[in-house]
Structure 1
Amino acid sequence: MDFYVKEGGVRTKLPYDQLDISGNEEFGFRPFQLMVASVAGCSASVFQKILTKKRINIDDLTISAEVKRDPIQANRISSISLTFMVKGHHLDRDILEKSLEIARKNCSMIRTIENCVDITEKLEIIPLSK
């Protein structure tokens, strides 16, 4: 990846599109937003793949991320709490929780930062009636 300094931040061109990064939201995505998006996106993708392999059908998956930062230590990310909201019919909590544990073990972004950022996951099941 190549990065180019521009007014107010940095830009990179990726196969999908260009990405602007800046400490100022007026000029691009803030670095901490990209870090959290990487963790949530990776975890959700792996979780979805596991559910598909197990032939568990869901109607919707939404992930909410709560971030805590430490202003004393350069505003570093100290914790990320992910809440997975799964909608579907006849979902088994035990199977979903086990699948989420497997996803955590196989998410490269979580594995990269898990020793320096506290990452927690919660599961909310939203049952749909037929």
Structure 2
Amino acid sequence: MEFKMKEAGFKTTFEYGELEISGNEEYGFRPYQLMVSSIAVCSGGVLRKILEKKRMKIEDITIKVDVQRNEAEANRIEKVHIHFLIKGEGLEKNKIEKAMELTRKNCSMVRSVEGSINIHETFEVVE
């Protein structure tokens, strides 16, 4: 990866497109937004794959995230609560709970921040 300086941050280009990053939301995504998004979406993607492998019919997954930051420590991310709203047919909570355990073990972003950021995942089945 290569990042080029711009007036109020940095930018990089990937196959999918250009990513602009800045501490100021007016000029790009903030670094903490990208980190939290990476953790949440990695977790969601792994969960989806596991549920599909278990032959569960998933119609939709919405991910809600609450973040706690510590202003006294350079606004450090201290806790991320990831809540999955899972919609599908015949979903069994005990199977989803087991899938959540596997998700935590197999999400590279969650594993990368273990010990630094407290990650808490919950779910609910929605109609």
Q: TM-score, normalised by structure 2?
A: 0.98
What residue identity is the alignment partner of 1:32? Y
Any residues of structure 2 matched to 1:1-130 within 5 Å, and which?
1-127=1-127
Shift of 1:88: 1.7
Q: TM-score, normalised by structure 1?
A: 0.95
Q: Distance in 2 between matches of 1:97 and 1:15?
A: 35
Identity of aligned residues (%): 48
SS state at 2:49 partner: helix
C-alpha distance after superposition, 1:48-71 (max 9, x if no partner): 111111111111110000000000
C-alpha distance after superposition, 1:69-90 (max 9, x if no partner): 0000000100000000001222
Q: How many equivalent residue pairs?
A: 127
Shift of 1:7: 0.6
Q: Distance in 1 between matches of 2:62 and 2:77?
A: 22
Unaligned runs of 5+ in 1: none
Q: Distance in 2 between matches of 1:114 and 1:83?
A: 18
Unaligned runs of 5+ in 2: none
Q: Where has structure 1 moved over 4 Å in runs of 4 or more?
A: none
